[in-house]
Amino acid sequence: MNVTPITQLFAGILLGASLIGVFWYVSGTGINVKTVAAAEKLIGLEYSDEQREKVIGRLEQSLENFEQVRGLEMANDIGLPLYFDPTPPGKVFDFEPQIPIQWEIPSGVELPENRAELAFYSIKELASLIKHRKITSVELTEFFLERLEQYDDKLEAVVTLTRERALEQARKMDEDIEGGNYRGILHGIPYGAKDLFAVEGYKTTWGATPYKDQVIDQTATVIRKLDEAGAVLIAKLTLGALAYGDIWFDGRTNNPWNPDQGSSGSSAGSAAATVAGLVPFGLGTETLGSIVSPSTRTGATGLRPTFGQISRQGAMALSWTMDKVGPITRSVDDAAIVYNAIRGPDGYDLTVKNYPFNYTGNVDFSALRIGYYRQAFEATPNGAYYDSLSLERLRDMAGELIPVELPDLPLGGMFNLLTAEGAAAFDELTLTGRDSLLVWQDDNAWPNLFRTVRFLPAVEWIQLNRVRAMLIDQMDKVMEEVDLFITPTFGGNNLLITNLTGHPAVVMPNGFSEDVEPVSITFIGSLYDEATLLAVADKFQKETDFHLRRPPLFVD
């Protein structure tokens, strides 16, 4: 059943007359006709004095009800009892049953004479070294821990090194190898995770001063799944405070190509550390650009999966209807490997579907309908030169491309959907004034956004969700014409639209500016069809070498 309309109705009621709180704050002593009239100006309505008198009693009762709810303690992991589903009404997905994926681990990979070269080996190359016992997991883990310690002053990408846990895991992986128990391609491979994923026994700071000493007594599903796959967590990496930007409680995460510049966010540390060769891959999350943006800035390859493909259990909630977990890597091939290990339901996050991922990496372009976002390519944003070259390269590979136009709906207020959920998730910060502890305090920072959205009327919030339902339906009609499409990463409204509709995306470097800083291109796929999306993106990426370039400051 498509539960989106139910979500709109009940979540709107829960947010309920958020505007009513305005009445109390305007008068300071109670609600009267004047405070109601003043509040009307905030929502562009005008009532008569008789109408104002009638609502006062109801508003006073609502304030009492608000205070009762505010007296409850609600942890961040208590979500809505209703779940967002990006599936359009009546849509049926006809996928083949899951076929086991056999990752090809290359033979003949050797340790480099200069051990520093290991920092930029692919997952498959590292897997070959471990599987054929040319290096142990302990040696590889210690190698990357040393790089994190050596270079983090330049990046500011690490919140916590999980050294003790990592070495214990690595020793276990080496024992398993010796005993003939090889877990697969991620066996013994180190990685880092954005510090909004809970890991038992370690701080989970969410990048924010009020939570910098927080320890959550659980381990996130994606971390547990990687444990089972044999991967070794070596660091909890930075994120912009409460998953916004690149400014965290102890500094700013920097771009490995230009440390004088921030890495963008919010999956700042995962992108920067991966590109700098401090970890083979990282875990990130996206609500509205938090994988796409830092991947663009740093030259990483990021996969934002379909909403509801990877569990968010144990991850900080910002928006229950928009948060998505995904890998940040140096190649599409690596992203596919990590995605396969972490996808699928866990019984906790009830938005997650059990759809197959039949990835082979093979592409028959003649069988695919590949589109391009015409309006975005015809515009002239930064990086247009590289975008046009990418478009021509794809035409050379795939033949004639199909022009697509994205839905044209009033989207200006849609950001309020995210901020309303965020304000609810961090209600305690606003009510206690602890939001003043966050480092970033500009007009566009969370403290001000959370305060502002409390004036959003419940009726308008529901209307925005109805627009979202229209957007989902119209985007489905677009995707009926193509299997996937290419777009300038920040072209038009594609980033906002596809995050609202839950469509998957792969972002990758497609050039370097005159200042030798990366620019990117993005592929948008059909719902739940990461296999096709990744296969095309991988084929496209392998026609270039941009993902193979290394930031000079991090090459020994």
pLDDT tens per residue across span 465-508: 999 999 999 999 999 999 999 999 999 999 999 999 999 999 99
Tell me how far apart the alpha carbons of residues 274 and 328 are, in angstroms, rounded to a whole number.
7
pLDDT band per the 50, 70, 90 thresholds, residue 382? low
Provide the greatest CA pair distance for the chain. Answer: 85
Say what percent of the chain tops pLDDT 70: 94
Torsion of CA 19, 22, 24, 25, to 10 degrees: 160
* 25 pLDDT more than 60: no
Q: How many residues are present in the chain?
A: 556
User: Per residue in 138-180, pLDDT tens?
Assistant: 999 999 999 999 999 999 999 999 999 999 999 999 999 999 9
Q: Are strands 484-488 and 370-373 parallel, antiparallel or unpaired?
A: parallel
Q: Which of 281, 324, 280, 328 is nearest to 303 (CA)?
A: 328
DSSP state letter for 401? P
Give the predicted TM-score (pTM) of the model: 0.93
| Whether pLDDT at 8 is above 50 | no
Average pLDDT over residues 210-219: 98
540 burial (CB, 10 Å; 0-12 / 13-18 / 19+) is buried
Span 294-329, pLDDT tens digits: 999 999 999 999 999 999 999 999 999 999 999 999
Q: Is 443 exposed, middle or buried (0-12, 13-18, 19+ CB in 10 A)?
A: exposed
Model pLDDT for residues 224-273, shown as the tens digit of each residue: 999 999 999 999 999 999 999 999 999 999 999 999 999 999 999 999 99
Q: Rounded mean pLDDT of the chain?
A: 93
Return the axis-axis angle of helices 268-275 and 137-155, rounded to nearest 10°.
110
Q: What was the pLDDT predicted at 6?
A: 38
User: Can you give the pLDDT at residue 18?
Assistant: 45
DSSP letter string, 514-534: TTS-EEEEEEEE-TT-HHHHH
Q: Residue 509 CA to chain centroid, in angstroms?
A: 18
pLDDT in tens, 58-93: 889 888 888 898 889 999 999 989 899 999 999 999
In a 3-state reduction of DSSP, which class is residue 16? coil
- pLDDT tens digits, one per residue of 388-439: 999 999 999 999 999 999 999 999 999 999 999 999 999 999 999 999 999 9
Pairing of strands 324-329, 190-194: unpaired
The CATH label, of 3.40.50.1000, 3.40.50.1100, 3.90.1300.10, 3.90.870.10, for the domain at 115-406+473-550 is: 3.90.1300.10
Q: Supply the pLDDT for residue 30.
A: 81
Q: Is the pLDDT of residue 27 over 90?
A: no
